[in-house]
Amino acid sequence: MRGNSRRSHHLGSLTMLPRLAFRNQAKSGAEVLRQFAQNSRGRACPAGSADSQNLTNSPRFVTIEAAMRGKIEIFVVESEREGLSAIQQAARILASGGLVAFPTETVYGIGANAHDSAAIRRLRAVKQRPPDKPFSVHIAAKEELAKHVGQVPIAGRKLVDAFWPGPLTILFGRMADAVGVRFPAHEIAIAFIRACGVPVVAPSANLSGQKPAAAAEEVARTFGEKIDALLDAGPAPLAQSSTVVRVWRSGWEMVRTGIISESAIERALKTNVLFVCTGNSCRSPIAETLCRRVLAEHLRVDEDALPALGYDVASAGTATVGGGRPSEDAVAAAGDAGLVISGHRTQPMTVELLTNADKVYGMTRGHVQAGREMCPSAESHIELLDPDGADIEDPVGLSPDGFTRVVSRIRRCLERRVKEL
């Protein structure tokens, strides 16, 4: 802290329930988080009340003051609305090069200005952090991810949709070039990061290799005057580190298991693709089989590796019954292209298939319309396979050359669509 302006700012105790956003498919992580949140409400202590006036004599406050010995700024905040002035003051300290400890839904972190090399060196020294271990950036909105990561792979997009804001740190890229990003589900943390006006890196508030601090008192005891300010919003609701997942173009891996389980991550990363035609006996099974081929080529993996990467490709028909075989002409045309569809069996398009699919591609506008009418909630991800908006004709009754032309056209469309997957 600069000069002799060190003081404490008392705005009352914390009453807060972190905002959590999770997709239904990630039930395991969401249920655990909701349970923690329901059991972690703070004691109401409005500013100006008797409790508020006596807070400086409370054991928690006295403990922090004793540990800090009046050497740093202490901001005790109740909520974003009640503590906005204190949050802004703490943000100015960070933006000008200071180190500020602040709460998240998992544990406390120590924030620094990512653009201030001196602050980053000091943060690394305070944390006793190895030089080869980078810091993750904390953001206050999903839209800010684009400022730090150029192209977000499909796995990253799915994790963002499923778990942010929430206790998940995502590492984008492989090895040394990875960029870690976290969007915390905590009202005070979001308000603070937004107020800083600069990119904020924030490792957990602990010495390297030790248990992270889940309360302001623990931060005070560990770091004392080595940091410049402390935003005290009471105990972290979850009191457990975030899960860390690394993603890249062709895969993902668990780096650290935290509050979100690996099975929840796996469910969120599932990519279901559905192709729809009329009878599910020629165009859509050819598209299904070709999709696996094109995906594997694009990802530079064997087709057998696609399920491990979360890909599930299927096809269905708008006017068919289950169990039928593909047409002989379709089997022959597929074989000429090096594809095997003889083992395919037809299935009707259903609400369940449409709902579970991340992408649904119809061969014609009629197929797209049929899917949207059957399942209006899936309308946004049902579209024509041809990116130019043209129908892919039904090859039934065409010559062998006609079938071959349809197969070639489906492949060209998939080669343009594959980046979406």
Query: In this structure, what CATH number is given to the domain that contains residue 104?
Result: 3.90.870.10
Residue 137 has pLDDT above 90, yes or no: yes
Indicate if 255 and 278 belong to the same structural domain.
no
End of a domain among 236, 266, 296? 266
Indicate if 203 and 223 belong to the same structural domain.
yes
The overall average pLDDT reported for the chain is 84
Residue 1 has pLDDT above 50, yes or no: no
Q: Is residue 1 part of a domain?
A: no
End of a domain among 266, 281, 304? 266
Q: Is residue 2 part of a domain?
A: no
Residue 7 has pLDDT above 80, yes or no: no
94 or 267, which is more confident?
Answer: 94
Grade residue 51 by pLDDT with cuts at 50, 70 and 90.
very low
Residue 79 has pLDDT above 80, yes or no: no
Q: Please, which contacts does 221-224 make with residues 24 or more away whose CB atoms are closer than 8 Å?
A: 221/67, 223/101, 223/110, 223/126, 224/67, 224/68, 224/69, 224/71, 224/72
Indicate if 414 and 395 belong to the same structural domain.
yes
Residue 92 has pLDDT above 80, yes or no: yes
Indicate if 379 and 309 belong to the same structural domain.
yes
Indicate if 124 and 140 belong to the same structural domain.
yes
How many other C-beta atoms are found inside a 10 Å radius of the C-beta of residue 174?
13
How many other C-beta atoms are found inside a 10 Å radius of the C-beta of residue 126?
18
Indicate if 27 and 96 belong to the same structural domain.
yes
Burial of 159 (0-12, 13-18, 19+ CB in 10 A): buried
Q: What average pLDDT does this structure show over 196-213? A: 96
Indicate if 288 and 251 belong to the same structural domain.
no
Whole-angstrom distance, CA of residue 297 vs CA of residue 300: 5
Q: Is residue 229 part of a domain?
A: yes
Indicate if 290 and 178 belong to the same structural domain.
no
Indicate if 351 and 244 belong to the same structural domain.
no
CATH number of 357's domain: 3.40.50.2300
Q: Nearest to residue 325, comparing CAs of 348, 298, 343?
A: 343
Burial of 228 (0-12, 13-18, 19+ CB in 10 A): buried
Q: What average pLDDT does this structure show over 208-216? A: 94
Indicate if 274 and 248 belong to the same structural domain.
no
Q: What average pLDDT does this structure show over 205-216? A: 95
Indicate if 96 and 166 belong to the same structural domain.
yes
Q: What is the pLDDT of residues 403-419, one digit of tens each?
A: 999 999 999 999 999 98
DSSP 33: H
Q: Is residue 233 part of a domain?
A: yes
Q: What average pLDDT does this structure show over 142-147? A: 95
Determine which helix (DSSP H) or strand (DSSP E) holds 356, and give its type and residue range. Answer: helix 351-356
Q: Is residue 324 part of a domain?
A: yes
Grade residue 46 by pLDDT with cuts at 50, 70 and 90.
very low
pLDDT for 146:
93
Q: Per the structure, how many domains does the chain have?
A: 2
Whole-angstrom distance, CA of residue 358 vs CA of residue 361: 10
Grade residue 251 by pLDDT with cuts at 50, 70 and 90.
confident
22 or 188, which is more confident?
Answer: 188
Residue 50 has pLDDT above 70, yes or no: no
Q: Is residue 231 part of a domain?
A: yes
pLDDT for 71:
66
DSSP 323: T
Indicate if 353 and 303 belong to the same structural domain.
yes
* Three-class DSSP category at 358: coil
Q: Which domain holds residue 225?
A: 8-266
Grade residue 19 by pLDDT with cuts at 50, 70 and 90.
very low
End of a domain among 214, 235, 266? 266
Q: What is the pLDDT of residues 333-376, one digit of tens each?
A: 999 999 999 999 999 999 999 999 999 999 999 999 999 999 99
CB within 8 Å of 85: residues ≥ 6 apart = none
Q: Is residue 3 part of a domain?
A: no
Whole-angstrom distance, CA of residue 53 vs CA of residue 392: 74
Q: Are 94 and 113 in contact (CB under 8 A)?
A: yes
Residue 182 has pLDDT above 80, yes or no: yes
Q: Is residue 381 part of a domain?
A: yes
Residue 238 has pLDDT above 60, yes or no: yes
